Amino acid sequence: MRVRVEGDSMLPALRSGDWLWVRRGAPVRPGDLVVARLPSDPSRLIVKRAAWEADGGWWLESDNQRASGRRDSWDFGALPPSALVGRVMLRYWPLTFRRAR
């Protein structure tokens, strides 16, 4: 699946506008970037770093803790494995771009 990054919570690793290729159901290890469902609104996806396994779930953190509007496990606790959509495999940019003049 493809996911577009929005916001600054994962700076410097990911920037707003980056595109990610996500492998659904891929095994997760500490340090991996993952896509998960936001517990307060399961229709929204979030991109976070899997920090460690805790209480049968995953503790997910933003790389940029100072980002406005950031939401991670410091706000909602560890997420159960069922809330993880997949692991980020690749970051890429859109094929269309503007040429400098």
Domains (range + CATH), the chain: 2-92 (2.10.109.10)
pLDDT at position 55 is 83
Mean local confidence (pLDDT), 77-85: 96
Cβ–Cβ under 8 Å, residues 19 and 2: yes
* Residue pair 66/74 in contact by the 8 Å Cβ criterion: no
Mean pLDDT of 15-26: 95
In this model, does residue 86 exceed pLDDT 70? Answer: yes
β-partners of residue 47 are 35
Q: What is the pTM of this model?
A: 0.89
* Spatial separation of the C-alpha atoms in residues 79 and 72, rounded to whole Å: 10
pLDDT at 95: 64
Could you tell me if 62 and 8 are in contact, meaning their C-beta atoms sit under 8 angstroms apart?
A: no
* Cα–Cα nearest to 91, from 10, 25, 30: 10
